Amino acid sequence: MELKTLVNHLLNYKTEHETNVEITSIDMDSRAARPGSLFVCIKGYTVDGHDYAEQAVRNGAAAVLAEKHLPGMDSVPVIIVNDTKRAMAVLANVFYGYPTNKLHLIGVTGTNGKTTTSHLIEQVFSDAGKRTGMIGTIDMKINGVSHKVTNTTPESLFLQKAFKEMIDQGVESAVMEVSSHALDMGRVRGCDYDIAVFTNFTQDHLDYHKDMETYLRAKGLLFAQLGNTYAGNKEKIAVLNRDDEASKEFEKMTAAQILTYGIEQKSDIMAKDIKVTGKGTSFTLVTPLEERPVSLKLVGKFSVYNVLAAISATLLSGIPIDSIIKTMENVKGVPGRFETVDAGQSFTVIVDYAHTPDSLENALTTVKEFAVGKVISVVGCGGDRDKTKRPLMAKIAAENSDVAIFTSDNPRTEDPLAILEDMKAGVQDYEYIIKPGRKDAIVHAIEIAEDNDIILIAGKGHETYQIIGKNVLDFDDRKVAAEAIGAK
């Protein structure tokens, strides 16, 4: 595409050169720039992409999009705009042909349950024979094939390219997690959602959003964006959790139609008579048309919320209820979410991704509901992340476990012992064990476990690494636990 045609979609830009060069890709990383690239300079949190424009041009970039004049950059056209990130979202959408206008796209937001709900939706679509795409924390999937992602919700450029790839591969329906960071940073600008799903709203990410009000507004952007995008006359629908107060705010923020789900409050889609055991959960599904018994392999009341959200979104997408229920009943779980480690031991080991106060409380109260022996928890808190959740998580662990072992999660650039000090501030009146090394903590939990005890290893779920300093080291809770069971 000619640069001139591309940038004509921007309302306001300056250029000091001819713009009749041919653009064959858009890149925001100088290391990925190649002949024909339009290199977009992004001012990041760690470095400024403007400093890499020269490198991009050395790699062959045909043009540069920047926020300021770049001295000495004479060999290629430089397009100057006020906000390169915002401009990139527009240009990526144009360059890839507005792919989301051609997709049935569902966005899932909320503090907890996004990955789980997205997986359930993807499974329903693929079981119903649809060609399906999914983007989220664990990976991106196109027609069942997994691709690596670095963020739960990647940058606009990655997203639009991914959606174009999905269209090329015949994908009809796609589901994606939409994080509050992404909404705040404009990563999903230009995504034409048909359905936006809200799971729940509790404390997390206050390092970034600073307060709950700002965090709530960021989440609300997904609902504000519904029906407010580029083109088309598709019906837009917000799927809201009636039991969560935040839904009231999102109702005000959206012009779309609303479908509600819930357990406590009267909602369009409901679950009643919920029974939780260690083997699964049963309930009666109540829709405007009928009541149906449902028997899940997933455990916990919180799982019922995810299932209700996924049922709502897929019913609205035209999937028959019989097919939806069949999928829900067959789903064994999502990697790293309440995943059991079975190495022939006489006690239960569960690896879970609870890394917020609310998810930890949900996970532990669920475990307590069916525990016969002791509940042993292994809990840490991530470094370079919301410090205020540390004492809360420690207290929840100590209150809801017979033995709480505090350890490291991903310390990142923080001192692991300092993170543990923050946790300890929440448990002055409780007993707990400290094992700073995560492997030591898991091994200790397994050594002290007796018949019928349950160990919950929280926080890292599917992660196959531990970030210490800037190093990403191999670490998988499931493998470490299985080895420790073997050694015992």
Interface residues toward ligand API, by CB under 6 A = 152, 355, 382, 385, 409-410, 459-460, 463
Torsion of the alpha carbons at 90, 96, 98 and 102, rounded to the nearest 10:
-160
User: Does the annotation place 329 within a ligand binding site?
Assistant: no
* Residue 456 beta carbon to ligand API: minimum distance, rounded to whole angstroms: 14
User: Does the annotation place 408 within a ligand binding site?
Assistant: no
Q: Which residues of 279-288 are buried (b: 16+ CB within 10 A; e: fewer)?
A: ebbbbebbee
Instruction: Figure out which of the listed residues 93, 137, 199, 348 binds Mg ion, where binding follows CB under 5 A.
Output: 137
Instruction: Figure out which of the listed residues 17, 181, 297, 424 binds ligand UAG, where binding follows CB under 6 A.
Output: 181
* Residue 147 beta carbon to ligand UAG: minimum distance, rounded to whole angstroms: 15
Range list of H helices, 262-373: 301-316, 321-330, 357-370
- In DSSP terms, which residues pair with 176 in a beta bridge? 107, 135
Q: How far apart are CA 473 and CA 415, in angstroms?
A: 16
* Residue 171 beta carbon to ligand API: minimum distance, rounded to whole angstroms: 25
User: Does the annotation place 114 within a ligand binding site?
Assistant: yes
Interface with ligand UAG, residue 148, by CB under 6 A: no
* Residue 152 beta carbon to ligand API: minimum distance, rounded to whole angstroms: 6
Residue 402 tokens read as: 């017979």
What's the order of all strands across the beta sheet hosting 132-135? 145-147, 140-142, 132-135, 173-177, 104-109, 195-198, 237-241, 257-262, 269-276, 281-286, 291-296
User: Does the annotation place 179 within a ligand binding site?
Assistant: yes
User: Does the annotation place 411 within a ligand binding site?
Assistant: yes
Q: Is 260 exposed, middle or buried (0-12, 13-18, 19+ CB in 10 A)?
A: buried
Interface with ligand ATP, residue 363, by CB under 6 A: yes
Query: Tokens 């799903």 label which residue?
Result: 197
Give the phi and the psi of residue 187 in degrees, each rounded to 5: -70, -25
Site string for ligand UAG, 20-49 (x = CB under 6 A): --------xxxx----------x-xxxx-x
Q: How far apart are CA 72 and CA 329, in angstroms?
A: 63
Instruction: Figure out which of the listed residues 354, 379, 396, 482 binds ligand ATP, where binding follows CB under 6 A.
Output: 354
Interface with Mg ion, residue 115, by CB under 5 A: yes
Interface with ligand ATP, residue 281, by CB under 6 A: no
Q: Among residues 199 and 345, whose Cβ is nearest to ligand ATP?
A: 199
Interface with ligand ATP, residue 192, by CB under 6 A: no
* Residue 466 beta carbon to ligand UAG: minimum distance, rounded to whole angstroms: 15
DSSP line for 83-145: -HHHHHHHHHHHHTT-GGGGSEEEEEESSSSHHHHHHHHHHHHHHTT--EEEESSS-EEETTE
Instruction: Figure out which of the listed residues 179, 348, 359, 410 binds ligand UAG, where binding follows CB under 6 A.
Output: 179
* Residue 108 beta carbon to Mg ion: minimum distance, rounded to whole angstroms: 9
Residue 337 binding: pick among ligand API, ligand UAG, ligand ATP, none (C-beta 5-8 Å cut-off by kind)? ligand ATP
Q: How far apart are CA 374 and CA 366, in angstroms?
A: 14
Contacts of 94 (CB under 8 A, 6+ apart): 6, 9
Q: How far apart are CA 69 and CA 14, in angstroms?
A: 10
Residue 44 binding: pick among ligand UAG, ligand API, Mg ion, none (C-beta 5-8 Å cut-off by kind)? ligand UAG
Identify the three-state secondary structure at position 182: helix
Instruction: Figure out which of the listed residues 37, 101, 117, 152 binds ligand UAG, where binding follows CB under 6 A.
Output: 152
Interface with Mg ion, residue 114, by CB under 5 A: yes
User: Does the annotation place 426 within a ligand binding site?
Assistant: no
Residue 303 tokens read as: 């799982």
Per CB under 6 A, residues contacting ligand ATP are 112-116, 137, 152, 177, 199-200, 302, 305-306, 337, 352-354, 358-359, 362-363, 461
Residues that bind Mg ion in the complex, under the rule CB under 5 A: 114-115, 137, 152, 177
Bind-site residues for meso-2,6-diaminopimelate? 385, 409-412, 459, 463
Binding-site residue ranges for ATP: 110-116
